[in-house]
A and B are shown apart, each in its own frame.
Chain A
Amino acid sequence: MSSKTIIMFSGDLDKAMASLIIANGAAAMGDDVTIFFTFWGLNVLRKAQKIKVKKEFMENMFGFMMPRGADKLNLSKMNFAGAGTAMMKSIMKKKNVNSLPQLLENAQAMGVKMIACTMSMDVMGIKEAELIDGVELAGVATYLGEADGANVNLFI
């Protein structure tokens, strides 16, 4: 059995979808898959609802300015203040492409391991309670340990 690792750095909808489609595909090929969510990629893991947690002023600002969860992300191109993203989402739905929240759920059900970068969480003031369930918290060494045994590593 081989394994794949993906670094989800971006918080863009299209890039996150690409990552999760690859992750689901790899899991369906029988591979172990680990995704390391860092910087803007952390937003992919945020819960859609607002969670009451104690934060400093700057952390609150960060939380407010960044998209809250997989359903709130925007396209990296042709966003047009959200209109492009809405259009893309409606076309994808029509064409029966899984939404990003569905892809995340499927990936977890297939055993894809999701790791949230604790340094990014600290910098951006994102607390564990704000992330979806089933996510591990760790640092770069954990990711590197996984990457050592993997034969494909992607930075997205």
Chain B
Amino acid sequence: MAEKHINARGLQCPGPIVELFKVAKAAESGDVITIEVTDCGFSKDITAWCKKTGNELVSIEETEGVIKAVVKKG
């Protein structure tokens, strides 16, 4: 199982989910993707994105304006 990292800091909506979608599309089931985002709407968006695309949101945390989410490909 591979681990992938996306730096989406500074990207505005819908940049972060677009980047995440591209990486997730190329990933295998079970791969873990970590994404860092500064758009504050992302914490809600990532929940909706995971639910819709059938991927698992492993964790989400925010420190000093950076949201870090860990997603496991379903």
In the complex, B52 has a CB within 8 A of chain A: yes
Chain B residues touching A, range: 10 to 19
Contact yes or no, B21 A28, CB < 8 A: yes
In the complex, B30 has a CB within 8 A of chain A: no
A5 to B43, CA, bound (A): 26
- Shortest CB-to-CB span from A13 to chain B, Å, is 16
In the complex, A19 has a CB within 8 A of chain B: no
In the complex, A77 has a CB within 8 A of chain B: no
| Total number of A residues with any Cβ neighbor in B under 8 Å | 13
A97 to B10, CA, bound (A): 9
A97 to B13, CA, bound (A): 8
Contact yes or no, B10 A28, CB < 8 A: no
> Interface SS of chain B: helix, strand, loop or mixed?
helix
B31-51, CB under 8 A of A: which get 1 and which 0? 000000000000000001100
A29 to B52, CA, bound (A): 7
Cβ-closest chain B residue relative to A20: B14
In the complex, A25 has a CB within 8 A of chain B: yes
Residues of A within 8 A of B52 (CB): 29-30
Cβ-closest chain B residue relative to A30: B53
A106 to B11, CA, bound (A): 14
A28 to B18, CA, bound (A): 5
Interface residues of A (CB under 8 A from B): 21, 24-25, 27-30, 95-98, 106, 110
Interface residues of B (CB under 8 A from A): 10-15, 17-18, 20-21, 48-49, 52-53
A-B contacts, 7 of them at CB < 8 A, read: A24-B18, A27-B21, A28-B20, A28-B49, A30-B21, A30-B53, A96-B12
